[in-house]
Structure 1
Amino acid sequence: MDIPVIDLSPYLSVAVEANGDGDVATMSTELVELCREVSRLLRETGALLVKDPRCTVEDNDQFLDMMEKYFERPKEFKLLQERPNLHYQVGVTPEGVEVPRSLVDEEMQEKLKAMPKKSQPTLPSGPDTKWRYLWRVGPRPSNTRFQELYLEPVIPDGFPEWKDTMDSWGYKMISAIEVVAEMAAIGFGLPKDAFTSLMKQGPHLVAPTGSDLARHGQEGTVFAGYHYDLNFLTIHGRSRFPGLNIWLRNGQKVEVKVPVGCLLVQTGKQIEWLTAEDCLAGMHEVVVTSRTINEIKLASEQNRSLWRVSSTLFAHIASDAVLKPLGHFAESPLASKYPPICGGEFVEQELGIKFRGNKGGS
């Protein structure tokens, strides 16, 4: 299945005004239909390919170049940025630490076994073999019950461009997500700021992963086991190596191909909460496939890095904002499954970590 690419330019070029009921007053019919297409794709596929003129191929390449250089550094160097006492919520997370839900959730495992063979994920045999780096981006609230969700970032020595590159890519990704969030809200029949108003000062994370294809480049190796993201929306630039599989709402497994210059947006658990399951958190995995093997061979011939880097940003609902079904979604028969909860408390529940009152941080 080819997921269509949504060009954000028409929306960016129009000043949108919405009244209190969420009816769009100044948009053309074509633009309203484009917004409805955004919401339809998020609902039916859990994924969206977008083109944002503010986010260039050069931006993505600059970010990937820096992260390849970082992940190629010796393990001993990278562990200097490890913060296990803060539950890895900033700095580097080594390979072998993150445990995918599909490895420990027996109920999920039974559901996966019941899937048709061609739709089943590759079940991991242990923790993820990827590294990850977490970098908070965006303004922080001056007053919050969840200070530990807004920890100061960790900067590795020898990377003078680190902060500027991380922040630049992060702000560009947030800007793209905000447009998608507005378009989706309009498409769902909500006020255009229904989602973005809840995102203000959220604990957004630039969260690139690094997977060593020189060591773990065998077909079938699982870098990120079958899982969903707990945040609102996730966005990535194009990786230099394929391997991402997603599952559509109908259960179909799809290998994602992100065109050059495009961004991939995926639904997280928080948008599922806000829409009372009209949008489901998108399930996905990252696995070495035959296409990955082919790209490894090509990269080796061209003397390019054999680290598979994702240029990922997790966009969150603000920690002190209340997660609950919005607007007409509150009337859904499924709304009772999604009771009101603070964004920070929701993150605590999902991670199994308590932040408030914990001097050890997040």
Structure 2
Amino acid sequence: MELPVVDLSRYLQFSDDGSVSQLGTDLLDSCREVSRILKETGALLVKDPRCSAQDNDRFIDMMETYFQMPDDFKRLQERPNLHYQVGVTPEGVEVPRSLVDEEMQEKFKTMPEEYKPHTPKGPDHKWRYMWRVGPRPSDTRFKELNSEPVIPEGFPEWKEIMDSWGYKMISAVEVVAEMAAIGFGLPKDAFTSLMKQGPHLLAPTGSDLSCYNEEGTIFAGYHYDLNFLTIHGKSRFPGLYIWLRNGEKVAVKVPVGCLLIQAGKQIEWLTAGECIAGMHEVVVTSKTMDAIKLAKEQNRSLWRVSSTLFAHIASDAELKPLGHFAESSLASNYPAIPAGEYVEQELSVINLKGKKGFS
């Protein structure tokens, strides 16, 4: 199965001042399509004319250069005291949810063999860099989630490239959030109003394929994302699998110039489970092996960089089912909680807030 691609161009031409009632039938259908795909698959491919393949390449080029630096250099940007929510997270720190979640482990046993995820044995074999994008609140209960950014020495274009790509991807998420809100029968700004001053994170991962290149190696164990919506540019090495709502496992192919959007736990909360956080993993596959061979022949970097941004609900905003979703029979499963408090609970589980003793 290939995910459908939604072109955002026509919605972008719709005036910011335009009310939903002025949307034509075609655009309304597009909005319903966005919400339907997110509901059924937890993932969506979009084309946004403001986010070019060249932008993505420039970003990945710089991150490849960074991740190739010696470990001692990279650790200078490590901030464990801030729950690794800014700067670098070394490999071997982040624990996949499925390693510590007994409910998930029980679910594994009931899955058909062909749809089972790889079983993590320990923390992920990936580095990650966290770069805060967008304005932060001057007054917040959640200081650690809204800290100042960390800039590595020797990268004069760092801030410009990170901010440029980060803002472009957030802009794409905001359009999808508006379209999804309309498709779900909510006010156009139901989601975007809660995203204002959110702790959005441009969070590329780096996995060393010169070191970890055996088929089945896990870079990101089976998990969901704790944020609102996640957006990725195209990676230079395949390996991402997602699980559809019906349990089917799908290898994701992102066409050149497209972006992948995935539903996180916060949109699940706001829709009372109408839209479920999408499960996914990143592993070395036979196609990854083919891409490694080609990269070696072309003398390119063997670091697999994911061009990932986590879009969040503002830390001090309340997560609770919105509008008609509050009447859902499942609404009681999603009690009101400040978004920042929810995020801190999740970070603790995956070993980014306090140590769990994994080696």
TM-score range, shorter chain: over 0.9
Instruction: Kindly indicate whether the alpha-carbon contact (under 8 Å) linking 2:6 and 2:45 is maintained by their aligned counterparts in 1.
Output: yes
Comparing 233-242 with 86-95, greater Cα deviation is found at 86-95
Are the equivalent residues in 2 in contact too, given 1:319–1:344 (CA < 8 A)? yes
Per-residue CA distance 1:149-198 (angstroms, 9 max, x = gap): 11001100100000111100110010000000000000001000000000
Contact kept? 2:234, 2:259, Cα under 8 Å:
yes
Q: SS of the counterpart of 1:214?
A: coil
- Preserved contact between residue 83 and residue 347 of structure 2 (Cα < 8 Å): no
Structure 2: segments with no counterpart, 5+ residues: 355-359
Alpha-carbon deviation of 1:106?
A: 2.3
1 CA distance for matches of 2:5 and 2:193? 26
Residue 147 of structure 1 is matched in structure 2 by: 143
Query: For 1:29-61, what per-residue CA distance to the aligned partner results, in whole angstroms no more than 9, with x for missing partners?
Result: 000000000000000000000000000011000
Match of residue 283 from structure 2: 287
1:40 alignment counterpart: 36
- Work out whether residues 89 and 129 of structure 2, in 8 Å CA contact, stay in contact via their aligned partners in 1: yes
Q: Is the 8 A contact 2:317 2:338 kept in 1?
A: yes
Per the alignment, residue 357 of structure 2 pairs with: none
1:89 aligned residue: 85
2:6 is aligned with 1:10 = no
Q: Which shows bigger deviation, 44-53 or 138-147? A: 138-147
- The aligned residue for residue 265 of structure 1 is 261
- Residue equivalent to 1:225: 221
Indicate which of 121, 124, 134 corresponds to 2:120. Answer: 124
Check whether the contact 1:18–1:192 (CA below 8 A) recurs between aligned residues.
Answer: no
Q: How well do the aligned residues superpose, as a CA RMSD in angstroms?
A: 1.2
Match of 2:311 in 1: 315
Q: In the aligned structure 1, how far is the partner of 2:344 from the partner of 2:65?
A: 33
| Structure 1 residue runs without a partner (length 5+) | none
Letter in 2 for 1:2: E
Instruction: Name the CA distance, whole Å, in 2 between partners of 1:210 and 1:16.
Output: 37
Decide which of 211, 215, 226 is 2:211's aligned counterpart: 215
Alignment size in residue pairs: 350
Counterpart of 2:296 in 1: which secondary structure?
A: helix
Moved >6 Å (runs of 4+): none
C-alpha change, 1:18 and 1:339, in structure 2 (3 Å) is: farther
Q: How much does 1:18 deviate?
A: 6.5
Residue identity opposite 1:253 in structure 2? K
Residue 154 (structure 2) aligns with? 158
On the 8 A contact 2:88/2:130 being kept in 1, the answer is yes
Paired with 1:48 and 1:332, the residues of 2 have a C-alpha distance of: 24
CA distance in structure 2 between the partners assigned to 1:32 and 1:252 by the alignment? 28
What one-letter code is carried by the residue in structure 1 that aligns with 2:157? E
Name the CA distance, whole Å, in 1 between partners of 2:291 and 2:99. 28
* TM-score normalised by L of structure 2: 0.96
Q: Is the 8 A contact 1:17 1:25 kept in 2?
A: no
Task: Output the CA distance in 2 between the equivalents of 1:49 and 1:273.
Answer: 22
Q: 8 Å contact 1:68–1:305 — kept in the other structure? A: yes
Q: Which amino acid aligns with 2:179?
A: M
Residue 16 of structure 1 and its aligned partner are, at CA, apart by: 5.4
1:17 CA displacement: 5.2
In structure 1, the partner of 2:56 is: 60
1:92-130 CA-partner distances (Å, limit 9, x unpaired): 001000000111222211211210000000111111000
- Alignment partner of 2:21: what SS? coil
Residue 241 (str. 1) matches residue 234 (str. 2): no
Question: CA offsets per residue over residues 238-286 of structure 1, 9 Å max, x none?
Answer: 0000000000000000000000000000000000000000000000000
CA distance in 2, matches of 1:303, 1:156: 25
Q: 1:309 deviation in Å?
A: 0.1
Structure 1, 342-351 or 116-125: larger mean CA deviation:
342-351
